[in-house]
Amino acid sequence: MDLEILRHSASHIMAAAVKRLFPSAKLGIGPSISDGFYYDFDIADKTLTPQDLLKIEKQMKKIISANLPFERIEMKKAEAKKLLKKDKETYKLELLEGIPDETVSFYKCGDFIDLCRGPHLKSTGELKAFKLLSIAGAYWRGIEKNPMLQRIYGTAFETDTELKTHTTRLEEALKRDHRKLGPELDLFRIYHEEAGPGLVFYHPKGAELRFIIEDFLRREHKRRGYQNVIIPHIAKMKLWDTSGHTNYYKENMYFLDIDKQKYVLKPMNCPGHILIYKSKLHSYRELPIRYFELGTVYRYERSGVLHGLLRVRGFTQDDAHIFCTEEQLQDELLKVIDFAFEMLKTFGFEYEVDLSTRPDKYAGTEENWKHATNALIAALEAKKQSYNIDEGAGVFYGPKIDIKMKDALGRPWQGPTIQVDFNLPERFDMTYAASDGKKKRPVMIHRVVLGSMERFLGALIENYAGAFPLWLAPVQVELLTIADRHLKYANIVKEALEKEDLRVEISAGSEKIGAKIRSAQKMKIPYMLILGDKEESSNSVAVRSRSKGDIGVQSLEEFIGFLKKEMI
């Protein structure tokens, strides 16, 4: 059976059920999507609740057991218009206007009729396993000035077993949702009414986590011959005219007025790094030059597409630009690919690779594009790495390798990207002195090995379900005092652990020890040390692990050794 047909038919059955329960409901669209279906409704006097989903499911079951046939009815557009007008289906009328054909088709299912191209199941009885999942707001046609409709999401499968597997996975994904875990673990908050949407505020623990990752990144870059640079967040618009951004990337940029001049809040770091390169003459002997920066960029995204840490308006990239000779290109690409793979493995991700080719709007010559694309393909082939081609998904200045990280549930996340660029060196007239003394153009590689720090953090939280491995945990050890009189000993333990660069917190409140354990467990802290009279008098700690529970009493020294071993 075709799942798309099954799910699309399920959306019709759901719409029929909604119409029975809420006769004033006007229909939007009801397509099948990658793992289910939805239908949009305008129900003026009713806000749907999870309780309503149960009622709608019940009504759907009645329609299914009546085994009503899906009848196809064709009519002329004028006639269709009359019918939709009579039913006050204003949204469907708008859709009808957009259909170029003279004759249109409706599908009738009992007393429910819907403008639709089809195809559908033969009859409602063929739908065996379905579930309604959630309600969301959705602008009509995705345009923000249009009315907000109520969207019901559901899914359908051929068998109950498949449905059950899917819903269990959804529940697991929900538990790992970084939008839920982020605030729960006090890592960050994304939305402040006073600040505006899509802007991330890192709380101390979230900032700590970022610093752990960033320190690691800085070390790894240094080791691989990258140099740190830092550029300002704003620059004159002229710079972005030269780079082509004002021409190809305008919709995503923020403009400022300073001293009657137009400035841009940087959406990318490349032009800044190019200015640093251009600040002096370079010889072939210096290449490759690799500039690295944890660069924060700001990009306009419609408020409707903002999503947790994955789609935000301000984010930080672990960005680097490599300037090299043509002869060095292949070798540099291989190094970057290895670097990216190594990073993902370190953080527990599997990965797959896409090659994104030239988009519709592009800068530079076709020849340069071909050249750049071939360089990427050659590097992937040299690595014997399989890849999919993502047609037209490159950036305006060059093609790219996109590495998708796969988390513990096998879900893909956008991660590292590697781009080869012959265009910006030309636009900025970048040169180096070749061995024969002649001026030549360097090739430029743009690359991130984690991607956006925000998106990476979102993926990391969901990959580990918030229970970070010891080396990443913002708080590694929580000290739980049994009574106030143990606070002094707790401070001694804290100091000893901090001397070893461990991250420690004291839970000194007056709650019972059981409550303290529960709250440390809820914060997913890897180790808890329970400190009472016995521990204090023997200079020891009673150790509890987040995953294994009570693991016994150890001397402070033993415990430190034990943690160090786990972190290697």
Residue of 116, 270, 404, 544 with catalytic role: 270
Considering beta carbons, is residue 200 or 270 the nearer one to Zn ion? Answer: 270
Residue of 20, 321, 335, 544 with catalytic role: 321
Check binding of 290 to Zn ion (CB under 5 A): no
Check binding of 446 to Zn ion (CB under 5 A): yes
**Residue the block writes with tokens 């590097």:** 379
Considering beta carbons, is residue 11 or 373 the nearer one to Zn ion? Answer: 11
Which range in 74-82, 123-131, 270-278, 397-405 contacts Zn ion by CB under 5 A? Answer: 270-278
Which range in 114-122, 205-213, 469-477, 490-498 contacts Zn ion by CB under 5 A? Answer: 114-122
Residue 166 is among the residues annotated as catalytic for this protein: no
**Residue 35 near residue 23, CB atoms below 8 Å:** no
Torsion of CA 386, 392, 395, 401, to 10 degrees: 0
Shortest approach of Zn ion to residue 469 CB, angstroms?
A: 31
Residue 299 is among the residues annotated as catalytic for this protein: yes
Check binding of 418 to Zn ion (CB under 5 A): no
Considering beta carbons, is residue 5 or 492 the nearer one to Zn ion? Answer: 5
In angstroms, rounded to a whole number, what is the distance separating the alpha carbons of residues 238 and 346?
A: 41
Considering beta carbons, is residue 295 or 308 the nearer one to Zn ion? Answer: 295
Considering beta carbons, is residue 400 or 446 the nearer one to Zn ion? Answer: 446
Q: Is the dihedral of CA 235, 239, 241, 247 positive or negative?
A: negative
Shortest approach of Zn ion to residue 226 CB, angstroms?
A: 14
Shortest approach of Zn ion to residue 121 CB, angstroms?
A: 10
**Residue 561 near residue 541, CB atoms below 8 Å:** no
Which range in 132-140, 163-171, 262-270, 555-563 contacts Zn ion by CB under 5 A? Answer: 262-270
In angstroms, rounded to a whole number, what is the distance separating the alpha carbons of residues 319 and 351?
A: 20
Check binding of 116 to Zn ion (CB under 5 A): yes
Which range in 325-333, 402-410, 446-454, 494-502 contacts Zn ion by CB under 5 A? Answer: 446-454
Shortest approach of Zn ion to residue 10 CB, angstroms?
A: 10
Considering beta carbons, is residue 268 or 472 the nearer one to Zn ion? Answer: 268
Considering beta carbons, is residue 7 or 546 the nearer one to Zn ion? Answer: 7
Shortest approach of Zn ion to residue 458 CB, angstroms?
A: 22
Closest residue by Cα to residue 535 from 480, 497, 457: 480
Considering beta carbons, is residue 407 or 421 the nearer one to Zn ion? Answer: 421
In angstroms, rounded to a whole number, what is the distance separating the alpha carbons of residues 424 and 443?
A: 9
Considering beta carbons, is residue 217 or 493 the nearer one to Zn ion? Answer: 217
In angstroms, rounded to a whole number, what is the distance separating the alpha carbons of residues 174 and 155?
A: 16
Shortest approach of Zn ion to residue 75 CB, angstroms?
A: 16
**Residue 292 near residue 316, CB atoms below 8 Å:** no
In angstroms, rounded to a whole number, what is the distance separating the alpha carbons of residues 441 and 278?
A: 12
Shortest approach of Zn ion to residue 127 CB, angstroms?
A: 13
Check binding of 449 to Zn ion (CB under 5 A): no
In angstroms, rounded to a whole number, what is the distance separating the alpha carbons of residues 56 and 50?
A: 10
Which range in 137-145, 223-231, 232-240, 269-277 contacts Zn ion by CB under 5 A? Answer: 269-277
Radius of gyration of the chain (CA): 29
**Residue 70 near residue 178, CB atoms below 8 Å:** no
In angstroms, rounded to a whole number, what is the distance separating the alpha carbons of residues 105 and 533?
A: 81
Residue 446 is among the residues annotated as catalytic for this protein: yes
Torsion of CA 190, 194, 197, 201, to 10 degrees: -30
Residue of 52, 319, 354, 407 with catalytic role: 319
Cα dist from 497 to 42, 482, 484, 506, 529, whole Å: 59, 19, 20, 12, 12
Q: What is the DSSP string of 270-284?
A: HHHHHHHHHTS--BG
- Between strands 477-481 and 527-531, the pairing is parallel
Residue 419 is among the residues annotated as catalytic for this protein: no
Residue of 273, 299, 358, 486 with catalytic role: 299
Closest residue by Cα to residue 471 from 202, 179, 211: 211
Residue of 446, 447, 524, 544 with catalytic role: 446
Six-digit token pair at 126? Answer: 């063929």
Residue 221 is among the residues annotated as catalytic for this protein: no
In angstroms, rounded to a whole number, what is the distance separating the alpha carbons of residues 4 and 1?
A: 9
Shortest approach of Zn ion to residue 357 CB, angstroms?
A: 18
Total site size for Zn ion, rule CB under 5 A: 3
**Residue the block writes with tokens 């739908």:** 127
Residue of 317, 328, 419, 476 with catalytic role: 317
Check binding of 336 to Zn ion (CB under 5 A): no
Check binding of 270 to Zn ion (CB under 5 A): yes
Shortest approach of Zn ion to residue 192 CB, angstroms?
A: 30
Just list the catalytic residues.
270, 299, 317, 319, 321, 400, 446
Sites of contact with Zn ion (CB under 5 A): 116, 270, 446
